[in-house]
Amino acid sequence: MQLQQLRYFLAVVETRHFTQAAENVAVSQPTLSKQIHTLEASLGAPLFERVRGAVTLTAAGETLLPLAQRMVADADAAREAVRDIVGLRRGDVRLGATPSLCSSLVPPVLRTFRAEHPEIQLYVTEGSSQDLIESLLAHTLDLALIVQPEEGVDEALATEPVLRESLVVASVYDRPPPTPYDQIALSELEHTPLVMFRSGYDIRGVTLEACRRAGFTPTFAVEGGEMDAVLAFVEAGLGVALVPSMVLANRPALRATPLAPPGMRRTIALAHRKRSIMPHAAQALRATLLTHVATEELPSGVRPL
């Protein structure tokens, strides 16, 4: 039984005339008749009675009619649903991003995407790069903005570098700056209390390793927060923090002091699964993100790749 045969069957039911039905479905009458006969043969029973030019349904035809109507309607609904998804009239996309990116890069990208595709449902997951990688592997995310690790990611994932940003020393404007110069060497922070991120946070490990290489163990004014909390603690004058330059764009109470060469930088990459077909909505979000990075003015210390 083929879907097209059911469409021919319903056309004959509607018109009660083989020639008119053939015209309505844009095939020749012999073709339509042949397909009806093939359908009857596959079912093992005649569907129509033809008496004196009149076409009526047999008992088998009456039984098939509601089933055929439902099957054709379901097929049409499935086709329209797929067209909606392909045409981005509906669907959903699941994006993961680190907290610093959720508070800086992601909002304007989602604003643009939402304006272009208002029917697409957006789901955002905030987490560490490692957590986001695990979520991608578990198929609970479509895309993730991560800090690209030096050792690479799981071979099942592909990463696409999109940004490189510098880490800067954040301090509050109503206190003396951490240095009288335009730049600060990391070693100058040896006796300056730091506001430190929680364990497992991407920047915490990078900061501790950089301090170790500079020959000192930092002291903490307070530790345990994520990005918003750390910035709030710095604004409260509790200490300074090493943060991505991008997060200070909308923090007028905080100053950014660049690190002296060689400085500290990190690469932001867009990650996804290699062997999965990326949903159309996710493809569109990726395109919006890359366009934003390539065309919009980025904060100081951030450059597209």
State the helix-helix crossing angle for 3-15 and 29-43, rounded to 10 degrees: 110
Residue 177 has phi, psi (to 5 degrees) of: -65, 160
Please report the pLDDT score of residue 202 as a whole number: 81
Residue 118 predicted with pLDDT over 80: yes
Longest CA span, the chain: 105
Q: Please report, rounded to a whole number, the percentage of residues in the chain having pLDDT higher than 70.
A: 100
**Tokens matching residue 54:** 């009149």
Judge contact between 49 and 58, C-beta under 8 A.
Answer: yes
- Worst-scoring range by mean pLDDT, 122-131, 142-151, 209-218, 275-284? 275-284
Q: What predicted TM-score, i.e. pTM, was given to this entire model?
A: 0.73
**Kind of pairing between the strands at 302-304 and 220-225:** unpaired
Structure confidence at residue 298 (pLDDT): 85
Residue 193 pLDDT grade (very low, low, confident, very high; cuts 50, 70, 90)? very high
Predicted local confidence at residue 153, as pLDDT = 86
DSSP-assigned beta bridge partners for residue 240: 194
* Spatial separation of the C-alpha atoms in residues 239 and 183, rounded to whole Å: 18
Give pLDDT tens digits for 2-40. 899 999 999 999 999 998 999 998 999 999 999 999 999
Asked, as a colleague might, if the bond just before 66 is cis with ω within 30 of 0, I would say: no
Average pLDDT, stretch 262-272? 93
Distance CA 151, CA 221 (A): 31
What is the sign of the dihedral through the CA atoms of 158, 160, 164 and 168? negative
Q: Give residue 119's pLDDT.
A: 86
Mean pLDDT along residues 179-197: 93
pLDDT of residue 300: 81
Answer whether residue 173 shows pLDDT above 90.
yes
- Look at residue 82 and tell me whether its pLDDT is greater than 90: no
Instruction: Tell me the C-alpha distance between 123 and 110, whole Å.
Output: 10
**φ, ψ of residue 218 in degrees (nearest 5):** -70, 155
pLDDT level of residue 53 (50, 70, 90 thresholds) = confident
Domains of the chain: 3-86 (1.10.10.10), 91-164+266-304 (3.40.190.10), 166-265 (3.40.190.290)
* 101-113 confidence digits (pLDDT tens): 998 899 999 999 9
In the chain the first and final C-alpha atoms are separated, in Å, by 54
pLDDT, residue 154, reads: 87
Q: Does position 65 have pLDDT exceeding 80, yes or no?
A: yes
Exposure class string for 233-250: b at 16+ Cβ within 10 A, else e: bbbeebbbbbbbbbbbbe
pLDDT at 189 over 90: yes
Indicate whether 51 pLDDT > 90: no
Which amino acid is present at 108? P
